[in-house]
A and B are shown apart, each in its own frame.
Chain A
Amino acid sequence: QQQVKQSPQSLIVQKGGISIINCAYENTAFDYFPWYQQFPGKGPALLIAIRPDVSEKKEGRFTISFNKSAKQFSLHIMDSQPGDSATYFCAARKTSGSRLTFGEGTQLTVNP
């Protein structure tokens, strides 16, 4: 059962453009929503995270938008750079446990 659905599967943007990746979840018990970034040959690393009591969180060029009623959240990468080319995973965690349930991943390519 896929509890976190992510789209698109792949995304190509030009340098300086905005990258947007979307996720939807089913379980209302989820209370922590992180985004992980993975470069080839490396493990995923935390990029930014949000809790459902806020609708937006911004860290530098990266912003999470969260819509609790729609059970959706998205990652926006402003002024995308070739160095942002990586695979991005959204994830969610329940209050009662600490394991993360990941989305399917989005392979982002930023062309120079």
Chain B
Amino acid sequence: DSGVTQTPKHLITATGQRVTLRCSPRSGDLSVYWYQQSLDQGLQFLIQYYNGEERAKGNILERFSAQQFPDLHSELNLSSLELGDSALYFCASSLGTSGRRITGELFFGEGSRLTVL
């Protein structure tokens, strides 16, 4: 158990709909990362938050948005869903930066499997 909790584990929805994926990071971790895993593209970085603020942005579509709340949990919002958005969405957390120390290991949740029909 990595300590990272993601809900829901499975989600089936229709094209054009909007869904929200939720992530609770490990206790004490300040950074949250969202990754998309599809069969043909491996793990694609979407976005990173550190202590409530956006830190880095990757290949995240404009239809997608995320935020990190004061309690450090994060939500990934996917709207106007298309068939191609079907994928596993992973949340990962790390301590992030603490003074001059940067920790490297990311701890992943078990993912949310999104199926768009």
Which A residues lie at the B interface, using CB under 8 A? 32, 34, 36, 41-46, 49, 89, 93, 97-105
Contact = CB atoms under 8 A, between A and B. Distances in A.
Contacts of B92: 43
Of B33, B105, B109, which is in contact with the most chain A CB atoms at under 10 Å from its CB? B105
Interface size classification for chain B: 20 to 34
B45 interface: yes
B108 A101 contact: no
A103 B43 CA distance: 8
Interface of B: 2, 4, 31, 33, 35, 41-43, 45, 48, 55-56, 58, 90, 92, 94, 96-97, 102-106, 108-111
B2 A99 contact: no
Of A34, A49, A102, which is in contact with the most chain B CB atoms at under 10 Å from its CB? A102
Given A32-B104, A98-B94, A105-B43, A43 B56 contact: no
Given A99-B33, A99-B56, A102-B42, A42 B110 contact: yes
B39 to A, nearest CB: 10
Given A43-B4, A44-B90, A98-B31, A49 B105 contact: yes
B108 A43 contact: yes
Contacts of B97: 98
Contacts of A103: 42
Nearest to A4: B42
Nearest to A46: B105
A98 B43 contact: no
Nearest to B102: A98
B96 A101 contact: no
